[in-house]
Amino acid sequence: MHQLTTPREEQPLPTAATSTEDEAPAIEILQLRARNEQLERALISRAVIDQARGMVMALAPCSSHRAWGLLVEVSQHCNVKLRDVAAALVATANDETLPAPVRQELRRALRRLHTEDRR
């Protein structure tokens, strides 16, 4: 009788469970890399937001909490992400101009802040 398969061909084919088990570490690595990138972006955004908060505190002058609220208010009224408002404000230290909507809303927010302080 002729042998139809060689011993190598008789090895079991990988099953879905084996495949999934082999892929699990690779998937986990990809997820960890994505999480790491997300955390790096958050740290950078947080630093820029804190710098902008310091600038508002110097302009107003006001507490850190009130500066945060002012930046959030500007962000919401302009429909621009907080990190983008902060980055635009920090960029003014390098002679860049604030986008007109952000500049206008920042002026309004500062006026409201000053009005509240006078009460």
Output the DSSP codes for the chain.
---SS-GGGGSPPPPHHHHHHHHHHHHHHHHHHHHHHHHHHHHHHHHHHHHHHHHHHHHTT--HHHHHHHHHHHHHHHT--HHHHHHHHHHGGGTPPPPHHHHHHHHHHHHHHHHHHH-
Q: Is the pLDDT of residue 103 over 50?
A: yes
Provide the pLDDT for residue 3.
46
Q: Is the pLDDT of residue 9 over 70?
A: no
Provide the pLDDT for residue 43.
85
Residues 78-96 pLDDT 10s: 999 999 999 999 999 999 9
